[in-house]
Chain A
Amino acid sequence: MTALLAVSDLATHFATRQGALKAVDGVSFSIAEGEIIGLVGESGSGKSVTGFSILGLIDPPGRIVGGSVKLRGRELVGLPARDLRAIRGREIAMVFQDPSATLNPVLTIGMQMRLALEAHGAVGEADARTRSVEVLARVGIPDAGRRLDAYPHQFSGGMRQRVAIAIALLNRPRLIICDEPTTALDVSIQAQILTEMRDLAREFGTAMIWISHDLATVSSIASRLLVMYAGRIIEEGPVADVLREPRHPYTAGLLASLPANARPGMDLRQIPGSTPSLFDLPPGCAFQPRCERRSDACIVMPELVAVGPARRHRCHHPLAGAQA
């Protein structure tokens, strides 16, 4: 199986007054055609920056300082802006947490969809309309033909996110990067969109990177899970396996802290301390000051080691693999 997208040693830094902020620091992973992976982490873990870096959407003072991103063998890092634009939307699309990042408030939905189609090849007005209605209907927008002439503000939050997803789907991309697309939505709407995205991915064979901070959401859509902490991947594996038998103490701690794993009214298991500042990372493993299993060895950054065919972790003292 050849990888659709192969990211290796990706590093994205932001130049600031206090020195280089290493938002993403040596991230490697790959996605197969039609695969859905979940990228999980807290704020500052580098999960969103990883998503933006793949599309080359890093503005100064940020810069991709190393590594490579290969789409079907073609290197994307260092590609001229024009070539990147041709890939964005056509082969890789992105859905953001806030749909207003995608939607232009002064254009009708139909117009925006037509522009998105025209950006990647000339289409007639009638064709554009047919295709737009088809995609809008597919993402669950009722009465799509009439809604084409509406403006973004005439849609509810959930519907706006659907429109953003429809625009992402327009050119049948091979990969969609979803950056917390349901975080701003209500529980009942989130569930609808999750189901639809999963079905769409299955139907069109689209691969997805689902970026989220919510383990439960990711576990219900992705097949493989990557956990990030302070700019690095610290654990990787099939979703169910990682959640059942986490190897990295951070993953284990996160899972244990969920209310579902505690008796109501009793204290939750908590990870002590706070998320480290990227300006002031501890030496070695970034999680070590908060870790119960740390030893003197932890002041040396552990390598991401493979365990078995599908799992990797970055820890000197991984959990054995029994119940967490």
Chain B
Amino acid sequence: MNALVEIRNVSKRFVPRLSLGERIAARLGQPIETRTVHAVDGVSFAIRKGEVLGLVGESGCGKSTLGRVIAGIHPPSAGFVTLDGAPLLGPDGRKRTRRVQMVFQDPFASLDPRIRIGETISEGPIAHGLTTKAEARAYAAQWLAAVGLPADAADRFPHQFSGGQRQRVAIARALAMKPDMLVCDEPVASLDVSIQAQIVNLLLKLRREFGLTMLFISHDLGIVRHISDRIAIMYLGRIVELGPTEAVYAAPAHPYTRALLDSIPKLVTDSETLVSFKPITGELPSPLSPPPGCHFHLRCPFARSECREIVPIRREAGAGRDVACHFPLET
């Protein structure tokens, strides 16, 4: 299978801006500590044409930042993203970033409150020549229909819709750009439980209809498992494990993956079960000062001395899987 999007050694650093006083002090030779946040730290992987890749991690692990780098919103600090072998940003990047669209977590924030739904959906396609002003209405109606909304929704404003309907609009807006890939950043996390299933089903349907490639970012392991072909687990800016979903869920190779899976409470349907989950010990370290070596060693029950000093390199662990751990679990 060929890769649609390739991410090579991508890093994204945020350097908090220094105040004027600090800058003057730095010029005068005072040692000023610059606290760089390594939101994404040397991440590489490929997304194959037509697959859904789940990206899982806790808050602050950099999954949303990585999604925005792939969608072309933020340029990476180092490394590069390619689409069909050509760099995503760069000469004629505008045409290429069009092919990667994004769906955001909060549909109350991701739709411009002052613009009618129809224009929200059609403005991008008009700017990129996918439709004309004259045909914009029909074009918008076509995509509204694809996400299960009536054509007259185009004349209304976002505040006239419920959360689930807004998320449908956000998906229609992304699809109307005829993307090859959709980056979905926690698309159901802010929706009511009874609505989540509707949106998941919609994404599954759209995937079948349009052969969409998707990066599905979420912290909800249940939904990721349901929708993804492969999953990547991220911890403090690095990918710690990547592989086919069922294989990873059945036998995680990285201690963090295992701990994460164990820590989710499961539905208890018999009164005998008292404990349905097992918490990971310790705190999530601050991304401002991640621990040296393997980022997980402070919380890892299997950590040994090398884990504290040497950053583990991702290597193969079984069919189509790889893991960044010095002492991976049996798979």
Contact = CB atoms under 8 A, between A and B. Distances in A.
Does A touch B (CB under 8 Å) in the complex? yes
Interface of A: 42-43, 156, 158-159, 186-192, 194-195, 213-217, 219-220, 238-241, 243-244, 250, 253-255, 257-260, 262, 264-272, 274-275
B222 A191 contact: no
Contacts of A241: 271
Contacts of B198: 270-272
A259 B245 CA distance: 14
A294 B245 CA distance: 39
Interface of B: 58-59, 162, 164-165, 192-198, 200-201, 204-205, 219, 221-223, 225-227, 245-246, 259-260, 263-271, 273, 275-281, 283-284, 286
Contacts of B259: 188
What does DSSP make chain A's interface, helix, strand, loop or mixed?
A: helix
Contact of A216 (B225, B266, B278): B266
A160 to B, nearest CB: 12
B9 to A, nearest CB: 27
Contact of A260 (B165, B196, B222, B279): B222
Contacts of A43: 192
12 contacts: A42-B192, A191-B280, A217-B265, A219-B265, A219-B266, A239-B268, A240-B268, A240-B269, A240-B271, A243-B267, A243-B268, A254-B194
Q: Which of B246, B273, B279 has the most CB of A within 10 A?
A: B279
Given A42-B193, A187-B260, A191-B263, A274 B164 contact: yes
A258 B200 CA distance: 11
A192 B222 contact: no
B193 A188 contact: no
Contacts of A216: 264-267, 276
B284 A187 contact: no
B252 to A, nearest CB: 14
A215 B267 CA distance: 7
Contacts of B59: 186
A156 B260 CA distance: 19
Given A187-B58, A195-B279, A257 B196 contact: yes
